Amino acid sequence: MNLDHAVVIGASISGLLTARVLSDYFRQVTLLDRDSLPTSAAHRQGVPQGCHLHVLQAKGEQILSQFFPGLEIELLQAGATRLDLGSDLFWYQYGGYRVRFNSGITALCLSRPLLEASVRRRVLTLQNLTCLERCAVQGLVAHEDRSRVTGVRIQQRSEGLPEETLAADLVVDASGRGSRTPTWLEALGYSRPQETVIKVGVGYTTRIYQQKAQALSQAKAVFIPPVPPQGKRGGGLFPIEGDRWIVTLVGWFGDHAPTEEQGFLNYARSLACQDIYKAISQTEPLSAFTTHRFPSNLRRHYEQLQRFPAGYLVIGDAICSFNPAYGQGMSASALTAAALDRCLQAASRRNTWHRLAQDYFQSAAEAISNPWRVTVGEDFRFPEVEGAKPIGTDWINGYMANLQKTTLRDPEISRTLLQVMTLTHSPKILFSPKVILRVIKDHWEFRYAERTP
């Protein structure tokens, strides 16, 4: 494979990261997007979920900082807030608040548009990058024997411009959940990837509020997840730039928050604790309501395909789209970008590229396996979820319920769970003998205390 020209389809977080990675290996990178990209931190049509609460997990932040040195300082100067997830957050679940302690495990709180604008600005200044906006990709171009993708057919959305071919040595699809790659592969005579679909029927309703210190005086943020099977409602209130709060209320299986004032307040009041309701009921709203629907977790198993064309890859949500309620999506996209970087480094050292797709898809599958396992496992606590349930899920969820209850009292167990949720540690540590024994001990001590007059 020549390292002359790479094309990236899609300029969201995943596409921007991909373009940054490829800029280290290719003489020229072209980034394509259907939208007119904003020059500031503004919402755009191609990212319908961008209006809602997003969390950049610690691992995702580490990867972004690796590719964009100084990004953290820039975001903090723009108004982002750094949150200690042990001490700054009211986390209410299983009838109580998680124990408060200085965990040292932090997250940057900011709006998705601010993060995307900061990353996009850095990518668009790369000397070897060209960005074509308002440009739709109509299909792939391949060798006569269809063994290699050699470019894309594009239609620039200016009146009267004809369709044209953009030649490339590598094309990467970062177009998101709606990726047309399965259809394009079929058109070239390849098999579609097998898909795992876990139906959850999640719906978001979000509104922005002015921060008011008196309304939330002992914490910086609130997170109230549901407790299945009865509970299907949850919500989060987090600080974002501009001294604002972003408040997202989320429900499973059609139980979604209304988009009018009293209905939204009533929904917030119906949650397991009153912190979000109390805060927003005495705070000025700054925006209208926005909604987003997420029907299912979706994973496309490109790593299982026996044949795949050279010169083509898929990344980010185009491979795996997570239930956004658990805050794994942007960080999982960063993990797949880091996997691509590792595979390109290895191919460069070997000076051979014939295994790039095979190695990359396997590496990407391994990278997203932990966030996928965490997300799908949580969703299967709802009996209404449709999809193939992995063997042992019910037992694991029973154990995890007891572990979550232990976080109400045990800082070390809470710290361990936060390490897994922020993707810096494998879920395997939750099943170490030390952790299991602490959970069992806490369970029996709490039950004994309940029975003791």
Q: Which helix (H) or strand (E) holds 376?
A: helix 356-379
Angle between the 411-421 and 356-379 helix axes, to the nearest 10 degrees?
Answer: 140
Q: Are 235 and 96 within one domain?
A: yes
**CA 272, CA 227: separation in Å to the nearest integer?**
9
Q: Is residue 166 part of a domain?
A: yes
With contact defined as beta carbons under 8 Å apart, do 353 and 402 qualify?
no
Residue range 43-89, pLDDT digits in tens: 877 776 778 888 889 999 999 999 999 999 999 999 999 999 999 99
Task: Please say which residue of 377, 404, 428 terminates a domain.
Answer: 377
Two tokens at 270?
């119906």
Total domains in the chain come to: 3
Q: Are 18 and 103 within one domain?
A: no
Residue range 19-51, pLDDT digits in tens: 999 999 999 999 999 999 988 888 877 776 778
Two tokens at 50?
């961008």
Count of other CB atoms within 10 angstroms of residue 26: 22
Q: Is residue 388 part of a domain?
A: no
Q: What is the pTM of this model?
A: 0.94
Q: For all residues of the chain together, what is the average pLDDT?
A: 93
| Per-residue confidence (pLDDT) for residue 445, from 0 to 100 | 80
Task: Please say which residue of 294, 318, 346 terminates a domain.
Answer: 294
Residue range 390-444, pLDDT digits in tens: 999 999 999 999 999 999 999 999 999 999 999 999 999 999 999 999 999 998 8
Place of tokens 């030390």: 434
Q: Are 120 and 174 within one domain?
A: yes
Give me the domain span that covers residue 170. 5-47+56-68+115-193+299-377
Place of tokens 């309304």: 215
